[in-house]
Each structure stands twice: as C-alpha cells, then as structure tokens.
Amino acid sequence: MRNSRRPTLEANDRLAHFRELCDLSSVDLSDIRLDGLQKLSGLIREFCERNQIEDARCACIVPQEFNQSLMMLYNVASKESAETTKVFPGRDQALEWLLS
C-alpha cells in the first residue's frame, strides 16, 4: 500500500532541484540530540540519491532561542548530501534564501 503523504516519483521522473520551507517556530526543539540529527541527515541523503536530486534546499523557521550549534552539527552530518539546510528567525528571510 502506498503512503499517500509521501512524495513518489515514477522511474523516469527526476527532481534536479528541491525546495522546502519548514516552520518550526512553535515546536519545542529542546530535546533534539546529535544521534537524531545524524539519522535525519541520512534519511534526507537517501531521499536525494533515490530521486536524483542535485540541489536541495530547506529553510527552517525556528524559535529565537534555538541553539545555532545544533544546526552546525546537522550541517556537518549532512555534508555528503545534496541538501543544504539553513535556519532563520522569520519567514521573509527564509523565503528570500530559499528562492534565490
């Protein structure tokens, strides 16, 4: 059974570029750990490879108190991926980077 919420591509389809905006401004991020970030980066890397994505961008809107060092750790864990993730305090900055 196919999960209707998961994006699927047919065998001949190809996503060269992938853009995503994640609004995490109301999410409690205080329990995030390095092992979770590493697992997430691995899943995203596999998604990019499976779908032949060459350039993926994810702009995350995060609470003001978000620990920037967690984002740096995530970027290190995902350095072999086609994905680049950046965090922003507001929607305008996130969209500007995402669409540039």
What's the pLDDT at 13? 55
User: Are the CB atoms for 54 and 14 separated by under 8 Å?
Assistant: no
Q: Is the model's pLDDT at 96 over the cut of 90?
A: yes
What's the pLDDT at 15? 62
Is there a domain that residue 37 lies in? yes
Q: Is the model's pLDDT at 92 over the cut of 90?
A: yes
Is there a domain that residue 91 lies in? yes
Is there a domain that residue 13 lies in? no
Is there a domain that residue 2 lies in? no
What gap in Å lies between CA 33 and CA 42, rounded to an integer?
Answer: 15
Is there a domain that residue 10 lies in? no
Convert the pLDDT of each residue in 72-81 to its tens digit: 777 777 888 8
Q: Is the model's pLDDT at 3 over the cut of 50?
A: no
Is there a domain that residue 12 lies in? no
Q: What is the span of the domain harbouring residue 69?
A: 18-26+33-98
Instruction: Give the pTM.
Output: 0.69
Report how far apart the first and last C-alpha atoms of the chain are (Å, whole number). 37
Q: How many domains does the chain have?
A: 1
Length of the chain: 100
Is there a domain that residue 88 lies in? yes
Is there a domain that residue 63 lies in? yes
Q: Is the model's pLDDT at 12 over the cut of 50?
A: no
